[in-house]
């Protein structure tokens, strides 16, 4: 809702009424007789002037908001603007004071005398009105920002849940389970019970992690790599030595936060559209590095390339949606042809992510 919608004839009537009652209270406290006619003449003249200048004050308030790294500068500009507006409004209100006092009090009053009265009695009120409009606008915008943050946080939680369910769906798909169990059976038949137990344990750990309720939208890269390792080892049981998975990351980045379940879908994309699509493919490289203010995550494979795998599927589609909700334009996911063939998936995130505090 636009704040200017509040500045209408209803606001004019209410503002004039409040000011008129205030003028009469001031007369009463000063021991002067109550004079409603001059009080309301001046109050509605002032209210009309205030309503006319309110859009300009709101425009200035939007141009110089009282927040961010320019708070001190903008506050100083508002103080200057307050004095300029108070002087301008006092001069603009001067004719109403002049004619009002001549009509209701003394026809002999001069323009200089009424200007002195306007400056003494109305300058402070004009300055207070300026700050009232700016403060109300600031509170109004703050309320909207908090509500938008709550909506974005709720949306991010929904997408995190969906991402976790997508991982679970992938791991519980009949094709995936059939291949995994078939590999376990082959290991047992080959008298390799230890490897079979390891695959079953990793499958259990992976399913358990996907089912766990995690309130945080972000996790350290080290934790995500642990989940990813379980997935890769399960797939290695299926593809054997053909699957060569390489990770390149500086140890100093292991504690950096990234969105939960962000690594497995992009590696899974390389497995599905790289290894499964080309029996000669088998190398997947994951590299994570900091480049300026961004964290660059690269997944490269030696498969047929993105031209033959235009369907991103559920995993990458959900990943794009989560990135948009969490970071807006500050994150980017692109699929490109690799320099030596295959597919090169590039994911750019803010380099320093902080988990927002929970209420």
Encode pLDDT of 82-136 as tens digits.
888 777 777 776 676 666 665 555 556 566 666 666 666 667 667 777 787 788 7
Q: Would you say residue 156 lies in a domain?
A: no
> Do residues 205 and 134 share a domain?
no
- pLDDT above 90 coverage of the chain, percent: 13
Does the pLDDT value for residue 247 go beyond 90? yes
> Do residues 120 and 253 share a domain?
no
| Alpha carbons 315 and 169: distance in angstroms, whole number | 10
> Do residues 281 and 192 share a domain?
yes
> Do residues 185 and 140 share a domain?
no
Q: Would you say residue 155 lies in a domain?
A: no
Both tokens of residue 106?
Answer: 């003394």
Q: Would you say residue 153 lies in a domain?
A: no
> Do residues 139 and 60 share a domain?
yes
| Alpha carbons 2 and 22: distance in angstroms, whole number | 29
Number of residues in the chain: 359
| Alpha carbons 165 and 211: distance in angstroms, whole number | 8
> Do residues 222 and 342 share a domain?
yes
Quick one: pLDDT at residue 179?
66
> Do residues 108 and 190 share a domain?
no
> Do residues 98 and 189 share a domain?
no
Q: Would you say residue 356 lies in a domain?
A: no
Q: Which of 133, 148, 163 is the last residue of a domain?
A: 148
| Alpha carbons 204 and 109: distance in angstroms, whole number | 93
Quick one: pLDDT at residue 276?
76
Q: Which residues contact 187 (CB under 8 A, 6 or more apart)?
A: 193, 195, 196, 199, 237
> Do residues 283 and 344 share a domain?
yes
Among 43-57, 96-110, 178-192, 231-245, the range scoring the smallest mean pLDDT is 96-110
| Alpha carbons 93 and 96: distance in angstroms, whole number | 6
What CA–CA distances, in Å, run from 332 to 90, 110, 274, 308, 344?
54, 70, 22, 22, 14
Q: Would you say residue 9 lies in a domain?
A: yes
Q: Would you say residue 355 lies in a domain?
A: no
> Do residues 139 and 233 share a domain?
no
Quick one: pLDDT at residue 36?
75
Q: Would you say residue 41 lies in a domain?
A: yes
Nearest alpha carbon to residue 220 among 30, 355, 36: 355
Both tokens of residue 353?
Answer: 């992510």
Query: If 0-12 CB within 10 Å is exposed, 13-18 middle and 19+ buried, where does residue 359 land?
Result: exposed
283-291 and 294-301: which strand pairing?
A: antiparallel
Does the pLDDT value for residue 249 go beyond 60? yes
pLDDT tens-digit profile of 255-303?
Answer: 999 988 889 888 988 888 888 777 778 899 999 999 989 999 999 998 8
Nearest alpha carbon to residue 276 among 229, 308, 250, 252: 308
Among 79-83, 158-162, 299-303, 351-355, the range scoring the smallest mean pLDDT is 158-162
Q: Would you say residue 357 lies in a domain?
A: no
> Do residues 246 and 345 share a domain?
yes
Q: Which of 98, 131, 148 is the last residue of a domain?
A: 148
pLDDT tens-digit profile of 294-343?
Answer: 999 999 998 888 765 445 656 677 788 888 878 888 899 998 888 778 89
| Alpha carbons 199 and 319: distance in angstroms, whole number | 27
Q: Which of 148, 164, 194 is the last residue of a domain?
A: 148
Q: Which domain holds residue 251?
A: 173-350
More confidently predicted of 143 and 347:
347
343 contacts 274 by C-beta, under 8 angstroms: yes
Please name the residue that has the structure tokens 């500086």.
250
> Do residues 20 and 131 share a domain?
yes
Both tokens of residue 129?
Answer: 């009105």
CATH at residue 328:
3.30.565.10
Say how many domains are in the chain. Answer: 2
């Amino acid at each position: 809702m636009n704040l200017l919608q509040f500045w209408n004839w209803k606001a004019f009537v209410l503002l004039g009424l409040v000011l008129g009652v205030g003028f009469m209270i001031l007369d009463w406290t000063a021991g002067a007789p109550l004079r409603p006619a001059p009080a309301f003449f001046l109050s509605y003249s002032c209210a009309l002037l205030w309503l006319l200048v309110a859009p300009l004050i709101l425009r200035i308030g939007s141009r110089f908001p009282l927040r961010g790294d320019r708070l001190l500068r903008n506050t100083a500009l508002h103080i200057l603007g307050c004095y300029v507006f108070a002087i301008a409004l006092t001069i603009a209100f001067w004719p109403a004071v002049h004619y009002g006092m001549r009509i209701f009090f003394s026809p002999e009053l001069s323009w200089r005398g009424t200007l002195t009265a306007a400056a003494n009695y109305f300058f402070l009120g004009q300055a207070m009105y300026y700050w009232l409009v700016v403060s109300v606008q600031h509170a109004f915008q703050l309320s909207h920002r908090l509500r938008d943050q709550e909506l974005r946080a709720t949306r991010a939680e929904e997408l995190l849940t969906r991402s976790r369910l997508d991982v679970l769906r992938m791991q519980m798909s009949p094709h995936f389970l059939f291949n995994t169990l078939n590999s376990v059976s082959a290991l047992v038949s080959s008298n390799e019970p230890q490897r079979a137990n390891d695959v079953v344990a990793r499958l259990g750990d992976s399913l358990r992690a996907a089912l766990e309720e995690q309130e945080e939208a972000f996790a350290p890269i080290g934790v995500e790599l642990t989940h990813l390792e379980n997935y890769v080892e399960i797939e290695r049981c299926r593809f054997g030595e053909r699957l060569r998975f390489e990770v390149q990351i500086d140890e100093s980045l292991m504690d950096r936060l990234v969105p939960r379940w962000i690594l497995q879908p992009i590696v899974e994309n390389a497995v599905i559209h790289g290894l499964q699509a080309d029996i000669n493919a088998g190398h997947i490289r994951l590299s994570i590095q900091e480049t300026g203010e961004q964290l660059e995550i690269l997944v490269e494979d030696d498969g047929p390339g993105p031209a033959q795998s235009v369907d991103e599927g559920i995993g990458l589609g959900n990943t794009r949606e989560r990135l948009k909700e969490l970071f807006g334009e500050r994150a980017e996911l692109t699929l490109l042809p690799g320099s030596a063939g295959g597919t090169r998936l590039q994911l750019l995130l803010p380099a320093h992510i902080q988990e927002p505090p929970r209420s």
